[in-house]
Structure 1
Amino acid sequence: MVTTTQNPAGPLPPPNERRRLRESRSLTNAQVAARIGVSRSTLRAWESGRRVPHGREGEAYARLLRALAAPAAEDTSTAEALREQPTATAAALAPAGHTAMGSAAPLTPAQAFDALYAFCAPALVRQTYLLTGRRELARESVEQAFQLAWQRWPEVALDRDPGGWVRAVAYDCALSPWHRFRPRYRHPEPPPADPADRALLSALLKLPPSYRRTLVLYDGVGLDLPETAAETEASTPAAASRLTHARAAVAARLPALADPAELHRRLLELGSAEQVRAAKPPVVRTGTERRNVFWTRAAIAFTVTIVGATTLTLRTAPTHYEPPIAPAQAVEGVPSVGVMGPLSPDQQALRAKLRAAARGPERLVPEPG
């Protein structure tokens, strides 16, 4: 007999049994998550026991598990309905040219992008705020990530997890070390008004960026360890070590958050307490398009400048080889010019001798004919 645990959603089987019941009906995480109305990461956290289902979603999950635990003949309709039901994100993120299951018309690229933005942007801004402690930087990083996603939309639309693709880019933008050189980010922003939120945010910001990112992904977003390791580009043991050290550092400053469940709840509360809102999807798309037009025109202008400079060089360059003029050199061995004056006796004797030797026949003068 399966033991159950008591929680606000009603009796539930143990975490391992929850996963077994789902797999016994050949159901995927996406199918069950869409039926309940939660994300796949939340469902994985429920099945691993890291989080306890509660509220209306927890009650729906408890009813679904009871239906899956029923005999196969009684539960055929439930399992079939789950297999045929598309997930909300699959219908919203279907690439252009593809028809969402159960929909009569395909989504355009703009509609698919807007659906992804509306689904992911609000939560991403809150998560990025936990990484940076800056409201404007969080909003700017998420918008930059979605602008890059719109530039590469054919690639992003076909990705296995478009939301994860955008989240990784947004986190990279938020944690970039180049922000420290921007004048607007050299001074800290006003901290949260609540002292408890202020203490938690201070504890997060004192963690190394890689530890902080791992903690937010695992305890804040609800990813499992392999997914956290993949998104942080680390091995699973390295991600586990970072998570352990990050939890220990936070617990050392705030002992009340030593429980992972309490830490998860407080992270959600801290992100939701700040009024950080993202721009509307059309604004992000048009901003991306304007930026693309600007860079395209800049590239064309740069190319024209290079072509003009090359043409001018070809027109003014010499067409034949001209040897360079040798540098001037001092001439040596030439006797210096003597100073004019009276001749010495030796010079006078030499002059007389030369004159005597120069005497010859008289010059012949032609006679007139």
Structure 2
Amino acid sequence: MTELSTGGGIGYRRVATEEAFAPAEMLEHYVKLLRNGSGDKGFDSLWGFYLESQAQRPRDVRRRLADLGDERLSDMDATGIDHQVLALTSPGTQILDTATARSIAALANDAAAQAVRDHPTRFSALAAVALQDPESAVAELERAVTKLGLRGLIVNSHVHGEYLDDPKFWPVLEAAERLDVPVYLHPNTPTNRMIEPLLEAGLDGAVFGFAVETSTHLLRLITAGVFDRFPRLKLVVGHLGEALPFWLYRLDYMHTATVRAQRYEVLKPLQRKISDYFRSNIWVTTSGMAWEPAILFCRDVLGADRVLYAMDYPYQYAPDEVRAQDGLSISLDERRQFFETTATELFGISL
């Protein structure tokens, strides 16, 4: 078994770009939501498991989410991860009421910034905001980026069932474009309108439901013309694009045909094909998808500079997956791009 080590001795440093944390204060609010029944069905399914189960896996995840110090650093060392991009775990602030969301976003951003100050070579972080209040979300994003030095925006998909293709959220996207920081679109559990057939089959979470929910969100952003409105907006999505790269040919064909037929009032012509936005505005990470055929396919159809490494810590903490991606059938220079330089350029990280 190959020993994993940090420091770049293998020719590159590994930057992991979808790595979750959760302040204790936020998890306390989650417990309240579970007890008073004010979360949605997906929240109850996901966080009822992670906060109430005493099985080993949820206990490990809970402990690791709360740690921004010794255990996390030890885990990084053990898997050869030089640097993590921290982000508030899903659903983050987006399940909370507006006032609580504003408070928790600021608290989480301050905690992440402190972790970066404590370990500047090991951590960068993305900002959380209260999307329920777009005006305050813009102000918090600006504070987090310009005052705290955070490197982007984490969006844990839908906000109480609403998606960012709604123009009321566009000031937040405009701010991200203006600040020149990426938006990371992370999965949430499906909305109450979407979840029932997944939930009854036990498929509502990471096994499949996340991909259904988040791929839908991303397609809504594209077909609503978000990237025509904000052509310099940078969006990152995990799990190798939630399967959408595999669908690009059909998406291009059927979207064009449907617009031409004027079947839906909501679908308007775009300036480019759906696949073009993937090659100009969208990056995909390998979080939870350490499978060479899929990684190489995405590199082929999207471009090697559009695919970068992520672990999905602590939910999928698996050293063998790091080894598998070290062994990709690409050159050393391409592995350096995949593990290191695409991430440092995209998130503005100095290692």
TM-score range for the pair, normalised by the shorter chain length: under 0.3
Report which of the two has the higher share of strand: 2
TM-score, normalization: structure 1? 0.25
Higher relative contact order (CA 8 A, sep 6+): 2
Structure with bigger gyration radius: 1
TM-score, normalised to structure 2's length?
0.26
